[in-house]
C-alpha cells in the first residue's frame, strides 16, 4: 500500500505503522529514524525500539534516498517507511520530512546506527513529567570499541557523560541534547520550526534555541544509547568536520541570544576559549617550547592531566563493569583529543578568519 | 560532541569548580530537586586527589625532571623559582577562567542594556541579535 504524503513522497506500509505491542503501556511517542544507506545497521535499531519496556506508538523510518536495502529491511519490521523524492541533504532535513506525520505529543529522533538499552525510552519519558522540559537526552556510549578511534571516542564519552554533562544538567543547562538519541515535546519542536538546517550541528542549534525560548532540557544518564562511532579516520574526519564547524556556526548564530542565560553563556564561553586558544597552545606552543628550550619534558603537558581524566572515566566504567576496556582504551583518548583540537582550530580559522562557512552535510556516522 | 580539549584547559577548571559548588548550591536552596550535586562533587574531589597524588609521585620519581619542567632550564636548581612557577602553572587556568567569566558577565550586561534601549514593542528581547534577520521580529 502506498500513500502520497503532503510533501509529495511515497509512504509505504501504513498498515504496519504501529509497532507490535510487547510489555508495558506505550508512551504517546513517535520515533523518527533518518536513514541513508543504513542497511547494515537499521535492523538492530528498529529491533531495539520494538524491544523497549515501553515501545513507541509509532516508528517512522525516513529512507532518505538510500541506494541499498535500507527501506526494504525497515519495512520488514512493519514500521512506517517514508521516502522523499530526493535526498534531503542532511539528517535534520530527513527528520523534518517526517515531522508533519507525527500525531503524538512526544517525538524522538534516533540515528539509524544507534541501539537503545531496553528501558531507555521509559527512563527518558519520565523527564517530561516536568512541564518546562522541551527535550531530554541520554547517555551515549559507542557500541563497538575496537579501532583506536572507537576507543578514543569511548573514553571521551565516558568522561564527558559521567562528568561534564552531569554538571551541566545540575545547572539545568545540558550543552547539547544529542542528535543521535533525544526526545522532544512535539508542539514545542514544531514551534521552533522543526530541526534547524542552518548549521551543521542541528542538535546544538535546537538545544540553544529551546533555552532562548525559555524551555528546559534534561540529561538522563540512566537512559543509555549505543551508536556506531567512526571506526576509520576517514569517517572520523567527516564527523569532526561537521561537529567543529557546527559549533563555530552556532556560536556565531546564538552568542548574543544566549548572553542572557547565565550558566549556558559561561559554558559556551569556556568551550570557545578551549576550542580556539587552548587548542592552539596545545598543538603549536607546547612542541615549539619543547624545541626552543631543548626540554622534552615539556611534552609531558600532553599527558599531565591523565590522572584527572581517569577518575571520571573509571567512575563511568565501574557501574558498567568495563574497567578493563576503559584502561585498555585510555591511551587512544590522547590521540583523538589531538585530532579533535586540529579540527576545531581549522573550523575557527575557516569560519571566523577566512569567512568560509562549511555547510555540506557529510555522513560519517 | 566534545568541544575543545576535554579534560584539560580552562574547561576542566570550569567544570571542576562547578561540580564543587553544586552541593553548596543545593544546601543554599538554589539547586534543582533532580540533582543534588553530591555525586559530581565527589568526582571533582577524586580528580583533585588524583592530580595531587600524581604531582607528588612525579616529584619523587623524577626530581630532576620536575625542576626541568618547571624552570625550563635543565641545570636550574632554584627551588624558589620552581615553586613560583609551579603555582603560576596551577593557578593560571583558574585566573584565565576568572577573566573569561568577568568578560562574559560584563559583555552580557552591555548586550542586555543595549537590547533594552533599542527594543521596540514588537521586537522580542529574546530574539535580538540572533544573527538571522528574519527571526528578529517576533510574529
The Cα–Cα gap between A143 and B70 comes to: 42
pLDDT at A363: 64
Of B4, B51, B130, the CB nearest to A271: B4
A110, A181 Cβ separation under 8 angstroms: yes
The fraction of chain B above a pLDDT of 70, given in percent, is 56
Instruction: Calculate mean pLDDT across residues B66-88.
Output: 51
The Cα–Cα gap between A227 and A137 comes to: 14
Q: How many CB pairs under 8 A join A and B?
A: 181
Q: Select the residue from B1, B56, B97 to test the A interface by mutation, using most A Cβ atoms within 10 A.
A: B1
The band of A15, judged by pLDDT with boundaries at 50, 70 and 90, is very low
Complex-level ipTM: 0.87
Triad A137, A141, A143: Cα angle to 5°: 125
Whether pLDDT at A148 is above 60: yes
- Subunit contact B5:A171, Cβ cutoff 8 A: no
- Tens digit of each residue's pLDDT (9 = 90 or more) over A279-310: 888 888 888 988 888 878 778 778 878 988 99
Which chain B residue is nearest to residue A314, measuring alpha carbons?
B43
A30, A103 Cβ separation under 8 angstroms: yes
pLDDT at B128: 42
- Subunit contact A160:B108, Cβ cutoff 8 A: no
The Cα–Cα gap between A81 and A12 comes to: 6
The band of B85, judged by pLDDT with boundaries at 50, 70 and 90, is low
The Cα–Cα gap between A144 and A156 comes to: 14
- Tens digit of each residue's pLDDT (9 = 90 or more) over A307-340: 889 999 999 999 999 999 999 999 999 999 999 9
User: To the nearest whole number, what is the mean pLDDT of chain A?
Assistant: 90
**B112 contacts in A (CB within 8 Å)?**
259-260
Strands A58-63 and A2-4 come out as unpaired
Could you give the residue ranges of the DSSP H alpha helices within A99-201?
120-125, 148-159, 165-170, 186-191
**What's the grid cell of residue A217?**
532540557
Residue B19's Cβ-count burial label (10 Å; 0-12, 13-18, 19+) is buried
Q: Select the residue from B4, B113, B127 to test the A interface by mutation, using most A Cβ atoms within 10 A.
A: B4
The Cα–Cα gap between A29 and A58 comes to: 7
Which of residues A296 and A354 earns the better pLDDT score? A354
The band of A78, judged by pLDDT with boundaries at 50, 70 and 90, is very high
- Subunit contact A170:B104, Cβ cutoff 8 A: no
The band of A73, judged by pLDDT with boundaries at 50, 70 and 90, is very high
Number of H helices, E strands in chain B: 4, 0
Which chain B residue is nearest to residue A338, measuring alpha carbons?
B5
pTM for the model stands at 0.85
Strand order in the sheet with A80-83: A2-4, A10-12, A80-83, A58-63, A29-35, A106-110, A181-185, A133-140, A216-227, A114-116
Which chain A residue is nearest to residue B128, measuring alpha carbons?
A257
pLDDT at A255: 93
**A333 contacts in B (CB within 8 Å)?**
7
CA distance to partner chain B, nearest, from residue A223 (Å): 15
Residue in the structure block whose three cell numbers are 579516520 = A233
- N- to C-terminal Cα separation, chain A: 31
The band of B138, judged by pLDDT with boundaries at 50, 70 and 90, is very low
**B39 contacts in A (CB within 8 Å)?**
166
Which chain B residue is nearest to residue A211, measuring alpha carbons?
B126
Amino acid at each position: 500500500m502506498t500513500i502520497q504524503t503532503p510533501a509529495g513522497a511515497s509512504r509505504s506500509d501504513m498498515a504496519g505503522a504501529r509497532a507490535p505491542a510487547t510489555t508495558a503501556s506505550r508512551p504517546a511517542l513517535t520515533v523518527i529514524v533518518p536513514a541513508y544507506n543504513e542497511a547494515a545497521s537499521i535492523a538492530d535499531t528498529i529491533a531495539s525500539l520494538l524491544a523497549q519496556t515501553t515501545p513507541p506508538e509509532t516508528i517512522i523510518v525516513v529512507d532518505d534516498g538510500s541506494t541499498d536495502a535500507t527501506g526494504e529491511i525497515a519495512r520488514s519490521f512493519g514500521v512506517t517507511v517514508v521516502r522523499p523524492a530526493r535526498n534531503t541533504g542532511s539528517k535534520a532535513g530527513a527528520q523534518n520530512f517526517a515531522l508533519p506525520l507525527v500525531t503524538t505529543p512526544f517525538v524522538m529522533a534516533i540515528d539509524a546506527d544507534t541501539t537503545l538499552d531496553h528501558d531507555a525510552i521509559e527512563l527518558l519519558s519520565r523527564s517530561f513529567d516536568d512541564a518546562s522540559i522541551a527535550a531530554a537526552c541520554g547517555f551515549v556510549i559507542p557500541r563497538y570499541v575496537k579501532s583506536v578511534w572507537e576507543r578514543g571516542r569511548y573514553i571521551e564519552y565516558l568522561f564527558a557523560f559521567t562528568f561534564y554533562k552531569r554538571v551541566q544538567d545540575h545547572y539545568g543547562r545540558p550543552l547539547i541534547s544529542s542528535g543521535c538519541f533525544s526526545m522532544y515535546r512535539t508542539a514545542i519542536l514544531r514551534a521552533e520550526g522543526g530541526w534547524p538546517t542552518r548549521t551543521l550541528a542541528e542538535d546544538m542549534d535546537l538545544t540553544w534555541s529551546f533555552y532562548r525560548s525559555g524551555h528546559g532540557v534534561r540529561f538522563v544518564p540512566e537512559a543509555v544509547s549505543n551508536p556506531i562511532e567512526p571506526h576509520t579516520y576517514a569517517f572520523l574526519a567527516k564527523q569532526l568536520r561537521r561537529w567543529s564547524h557546527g559549533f563555530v556556526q552556532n556560536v556565531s548564530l546564538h552568542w548574543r541570544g544566549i548572553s542572557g542565560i547565565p550558566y549556558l553563556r559561561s559554558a559556551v564561553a569556556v568551550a570557545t576559549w578551549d576550542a580556539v586558544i587552548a587548542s592552539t597552545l596545545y598543538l603549536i606552543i607546547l612542541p615549539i617550547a619543547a624545541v626552543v628550550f631543548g626540554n622534552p619534558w615539556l611534552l609531558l603537558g600532553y599527558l599531565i592531566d591523565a590522572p584527572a581524566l581517569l577518575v571520571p572515566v573509571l567512575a563511568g566504567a565501574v557501574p558498567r563493569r568495563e574497567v578493563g576496556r576503559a584502561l585498555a582504551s585510555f591511551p587512544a583518548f590522547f590521540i583523538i583529543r589531538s585530532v579533535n583540537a586540529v579540527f576545531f582550530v581549522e573550523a575557527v580559522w575557516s569560519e571566523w578568519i577566512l569567512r568560509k562557512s562549511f555547510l555540506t552535510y557529510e555522513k560519517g556516522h | 560532541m566534545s568541544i575543545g580539549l576535554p579534560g584539560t584547559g580552562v574547561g576542566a577548571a570550569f567544570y571542576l569548580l562547578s561540580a564543587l559548588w553544586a552541593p553548596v548550591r543545593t544546601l543554599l536552596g538554589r539547586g534543582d530537586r533532580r540533582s543534588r550535586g553530591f555525586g559530581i562533587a565527589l568526582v571533582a574531589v577524586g580528580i583533585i586527589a588524583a592530580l595531587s597524588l600524581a604531582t607528588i609521585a612525579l616529584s619523587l620519581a623524577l626530581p630532576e625532571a620536575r625542576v626541568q619542567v618547571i624552570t625550563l632550564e635543565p641545570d636550574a636548581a632554584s627551588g624558589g623559582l620552581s615553586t613560583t612557577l609551579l603555582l603560576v602553572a596551577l593557578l593560571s587556568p583558574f585566573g584565565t577562567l576568572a577573566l573569561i567569566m568577568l568578560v562574559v558577565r560584563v559583555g552580557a550586561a552591555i548586550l542586555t542594556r543595549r537590547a533594552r534601549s533599542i527594543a521596540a514593542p514588537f521586537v522580542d528581547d529574546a530574539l535580538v541579535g540572533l544573527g538571522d534577520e528574519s527571526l528578529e521580529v517576533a510574529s
